[in-house]
Structure 1
Amino acid sequence: MSVDTAAIETVNQSFYTAIEDADLDRMTEIWAEDSGDDQVSCVHPGWSLLTGRSEVLRSWALIMANTTYIQFVLTDVQTNVLGDVAVLTCVENILTAGDEGDSSFAAGKVVASNVYLRTPGGWRLWMHHGSPVLQSDEDDEEEGELDR
């Protein structure tokens, strides 16, 4: 693993830890600054495209304020470094809790693409795009058969 790949994967893990810990200060450090007409962007599963650092960070503040518990287990992580740009793709296996006082949990999968830029301060997140993976009962049965 290259030094760049290790650094990107470390920042990527910090990104997910910031979400789990509802740490908006850390999230703010991870995102790149807008540069003129070039603005960061984010697509949360089921949301429209968000552009601009302030709009993206506002969305994370909203998510963090309204999420009682969330945990990410990342699988199928692939990192490609192309000079000063890196693309990391992964599957987010997510476990979330219901509202306060509700003891239920929900699980889901999201395929994510995270684009990082090399900056003087290190690798920073430029674009996050999450797309939900929809599974049918047949998919679950097929997975169960493969496990046997």
Structure 2
Amino acid sequence: MSVDIAAVETVNQAFYTAIENADLDRMTEIWAEEADGRQVGCVHPGWPIVTGRPEVLRSWALIMANTPYIQFVLTDVRVMVFGDVAVLTCEENILTAGDEGESSFAAGKVVASNTFVRTPEGWRLWLHHGSPVLQGDDEEEEETS
């Protein structure tokens, strides 16, 4: 495994750990600064695109403030590095507190693309796009085929 791939995987894991711990300070460190016309962006499942570093960080602050518990188990992680840009794709297997509070839990799956840019401070998140995976009868049919 290349040093760049390992570094991208490390910052990607830090991104999900920051969400789990509602650590906005760490989240702020992970996102790239905007420079040279490079604007960060984020697509949360079911949301319109959020652009601009202040708006993206505000969106994470809202999510963290309104999520009593969340845990991510990442699977099918793949990293491609192209010079100073890296793309990581993965499946986010998510466990959250359900509508009943901490006594119930809900599970879901999101596929994500996280694009990182190399900066003097190391790899930083540039774009995050999460799309929900619809689960239902089709998934059961695939498993029995």
Q: One fold, TM greater than 0.5? A: yes
Shift of 1:53: 0.3
Shift of 1:93: 0.3
Shift of 1:100: 6.9
Q: Which has the higher strand share?
A: 2
Runs of 5+ in structure 1 lacking a partner? none
The answer to whether the Cα contact below 8 Å between 1:42 and 1:127 also exists between their aligned partners in 2 is yes
Aligned residue identity for 2:115: V
Shift of 1:110: 0.4
2:123 pairs with 1:123: yes
Equivalent pairs, count = 145
Runs of 5+ in structure 2 lacking a partner? none
Cα distance in 1 for residues equivalent to 2:73 and 2:6 = 18
The answer to whether the Cα contact below 8 Å between 1:68 and 1:100 also exists between their aligned partners in 2 is no
Fraction of identical pairs, as percent: 78
Map residues 24-103 of structure 1 onto 2, 5 A cutoff.
Answer: 24-99=24-99, 101-103=101-103
The answer to whether the Cα contact below 8 Å between 1:91 and 1:112 also exists between their aligned partners in 2 is yes
TM (norm. structure 2) is 0.95
Shift of 1:105: 0.8
Shift of 1:104: 1.4
Q: Provide Cα deviations, 1:37-81, integer angstroms capped at 9, x if missing partner.
A: 321000000000000000000000000000000000000000000
Cα distance in 2 for residues equivalent to 1:124 and 1:45 = 21
Alignment root-mean-square deviation, CA:
1.4
Shift of 1:99: 4.8
SS at match of 2:17: helix
Runs of 4+ in 1 over 3 A off after TM superposition: 99-102
TM (norm. structure 1) is 0.93
Shift of 1:138: 3.8
Cα distance in 1 for residues equivalent to 2:131 and 2:5 = 23
Aligned residue identity for 2:113: S
Aligned residue identity for 2:60: W
Shift of 1:6: 0.2
Cα distance in 2 for residues equivalent to 1:140 and 1:121 = 45
Aligned residue identity for 2:61: A
